[in-house]
Chains A and B, each alone.
Chain A
Amino acid sequence: MTGIGTAVDIALNSLVLGGVFLIVAIGLNIVYGLSRIMNLAHGSLYAIGAYAGYTLVATGLNFFVALLITPIIVGFLGLILERTVIAPMRKRSMLYTLILTYGLMYFLDGVIKQTWGNEPRFIELPNFMRDTLSILGTHYPVFRLVTLGITAAVMIALMLFLNKTRLGIILRASSTIPEMVSCLGFNMNYVHIGAFVFGCALAGVAGIIAGPLTTIDPLMGHEMLISSFVVIVIGGLGSLRGAVFAAILIGVVQTLAEFFITDLAMVIVYMMMAIILAFKPRGLLGEGKFE
């Protein structure tokens, strides 16, 4: 493989990785921005998305159909969780919310292990996605390019939704001045429920597209949870623009670190988060919202 080929490889891998981080992180960020709830079980919902996708594809469903059904399943699970345990936490202190969702994370992990076991799983891809495409001296897997396309589509749809539709504008207004939105006659309760369900659905999407990139195992959610924290902290809590920026940055840093020093790659990423959080607590773009 040529030098340029390796560079292209690393660049594309960074974008694919950053894209998955972004979808998970945006879900976490929307819930935090609207309800001030930091959901530590988000990584487990992502893992459930991956397992649900695996099961759907294994029963013979087309990958793209599974891609549409998975977010609905995970979103519905999110609705159940919101109504039972998350909603009572809205008026409680941040500390209790963190501890509760930490417990929820272990509960969901236990359920995953009980249902699917500890062995790693793989999502069977349609034939055309298993090929490679040669780009600038490297043979790049088609599936990764499809992942990149899906990520871009999700992001564009999200931006259009938030900026162009009436509902999106209500959501954005609620994240800045919830009292005012409430006074204008919108039911904030629905906004909170909607945000949580939507966040969970995004985690589900990320899960199924990440499934074929990595192996699916019960611990996949933990790593992703930490990575998406790193993304939203570096981008600024609640800031969507910042998250996009940070996701690409972390994608690049992690891919490069894994390429050059392999084992201790994650140490670099954690260090970076610590340093940025310590000196720029509102994120690199300075748009973060902290309680």
Chain B
Amino acid sequence: MNALTTVSVDHPSTSPIKIIGFVTLILALALLPFVWDNRFYISLITQIMIYGLLAMSLDVLLGYTGLLSFMHNAYLGIGAYIVGLFLIHVSQSSLWLACLVGVIATAAVALPVGWVQVRTGGLAFALLTLAFGMMFHTIVWKWYSVTGGDDGLMGVPSPDIHVFGWTIGNTGDPTHIYLLTLFVVSFCFILTRRIIRSPFGAVLEAIRENEERAAFVGINVRRFKLYGWMLACILAAISGALFILYKGYIGPSTMTAFAGAGVLMMVLLGGMGTLRGPLIGAGIFIYIQDYITTMTEHWEIYLGLVVIFLVLFMPTGFVGLGSYLKRLRGN
């Protein structure tokens, strides 16, 4: 661990303007449902935040550690199924306990998978995520007696939200789940940002930039890849817990490779290696998806074209667009 002290972290400290901007944004979003009584958009924004958290967790892996996971949605799915099963079979009212169990159980599933995966890197890692993701999808799809198979997990109760003994809402209410999601996602965002900007984050970036050199300065590459993987999976499990509370339902279609491509798209749209990028990307993606599906059923064509276009012409996403154009003009 000596290596950690020698790696310089070149992130400037967050400027007060950014902090004020962030707090204002969160407050504005928190007040939104009280001034704008549009259930459809409040629900859409909740969905955007949940997927934004998932995309952000994928970005920890893809943008910071340089590992590609094709089916990160599998861990959202596992988290959601476990929370849902806990609420149905064990206790209908213990919200926090259910979330805790969901996150820990997902981590317990992700640990052996990650242990196997970090033995490889690059292409092999990506292919393994696909193999394991398909495996989880098949299990969820075929294990009818537990998961409900193709029909999905139905009838998940919506527990009350308790904080220090007070009941402050119910997850079945769109406004309450919106506020809960907003709180959890902003908390996760701040926490992940702290982690990424710590020496630990610098080690992950070192691995992304050059695995061999990172190993030469004494970093245990496999171990740190596993830490990065676990961080990403735990965040995905949290998004899964929010997902089941928000929808009250989960089916195997949430865990397909196709849905996994969507998450990848969100990261690409927003910009890899910027934590706020994937959140913005999720917003753009879900809004566009919502829009296109009302117009045409063959929306894969457009999804595919957008991905191809992004990779060919806009590899830095929307967040990096400004500096990318500047560099182009400079050339």
Interface residues of A (CB under 8 A from B): 38, 85, 88-89, 94-96, 98-100, 102-111, 113-114, 222, 226, 229-230, 233, 237, 263-264, 266-267, 270-271, 273-275, 277-279, 281, 290-291
Contacts and interface: CB of A to CB of B under 8 A. Distances in A.
3 smallest beta-carbon distances between A and B, as pairs: A103-B307, A107-B304, A110-B301
Contact of B308 (A100, A237, A266, A290): A100
A263 B304 contact: no
Contact of B142 (A104, A263, A273, A275): A263
Interface of B: 62, 66, 68, 70, 116-117, 119-120, 122-124, 126-128, 130-132, 134-135, 138-139, 142, 257-258, 261, 264, 268, 298-308, 310-312, 315
Contact of A103 (B126, B135, B311): B311
Contacts of A89: 311
A113 B300 CA distance: 9
30 contacts: A85-B312, A88-B312, A89-B311, A95-B122, A99-B268, A99-B311, A100-B311, A100-B312, A102-B264, A102-B307, A103-B304, A103-B310, A106-B261, A106-B300, A106-B301, A106-B303, A106-B307, A108-B304, A110-B301, A263-B142, A267-B135, A267-B138, A270-B132, A270-B135, A274-B128, A274-B131, A277-B127, A279-B119, A281-B120, A291-B122
A141 to B, nearest CB: 28
Contact of B131 (A113, A226, A281, A290): A226
Given A103-B307, A104-B308, A270-B138, 19 more contacts: A95-B68, A95-B122, A95-B126, A98-B123, A104-B307, A105-B304, A106-B261, A107-B304, A107-B305, A113-B298, A237-B123, A264-B138, A266-B138, A267-B135, A270-B131, A271-B135, A273-B131, A274-B131, A277-B116
B298 A114 contact: yes
A94 B308 CA distance: 15
A147 B96 CA distance: 57
Nearest to A41: B304
A222 B130 CA distance: 11
Contacts of B258: 106
Contacts of A229: 127, 130-131
Given A229-B127, A281-B120, A107 B300 contact: yes
A98 B307 contact: no
Contacts of A85: 308, 312
A38 B138 contact: no
Nearest to B115: A278
A113 B303 CA distance: 14
B300 A226 contact: no
Contacts of B307: 99-100, 102-104, 106
B301 A114 contact: yes
Contacts of B310: 103
A96 B307 CA distance: 10
B123 A291 contact: yes
Contacts of A267: 135, 138-139
Contacts of A233: 124, 127
Q: Is the interface of A mostly helix, strand, loop or mixed?
A: helix
Indicate the member of A103, A111, A226, A270 with the most B CB atoms within 10 Å: A103
Contacts of A226: 130-131, 134
A135 B261 CA distance: 46
A106 B265 CA distance: 12
Nearest to A263: B142
A107 B301 contact: yes
Contacts of A105: 304
A148 B154 CA distance: 46
Contact of B123 (A38, A104, A279): A38
A114 B62 CA distance: 32
Contacts of A263: 142
A278 B311 contact: no
A150 to B, nearest CB: 28
A89 B308 CA distance: 11
A102 B312 contact: no
A103 B312 CA distance: 11
Nearest to B265: A103
Contact of A274 (B66, B116, B122, B264): B116
Contact of B122 (A108, A111, A290): A290
Nearest to B116: A278
Contacts of B123: 38, 94, 98, 237, 290-291
Contacts of B300: 106-107, 109-110, 113
A237 B126 CA distance: 14
Given A110-B301, A266-B138, A103 B306 contact: yes
A290 B124 contact: yes
Indicate the member of A85, A95, A230, A264 with the most B CB atoms within 10 Å: A95
Indicate the member of B131, B142, B299, B315 with the most A CB atoms within 10 Å: B131
Nearest to A232: B127
Contacts of A222: 257
B137 to A, nearest CB: 10
Nearest to A106: B304
A110 B66 contact: no
Contacts of B268: 99
Nearest to B127: A229
Contacts of A114: 298, 301
A88 B313 CA distance: 11
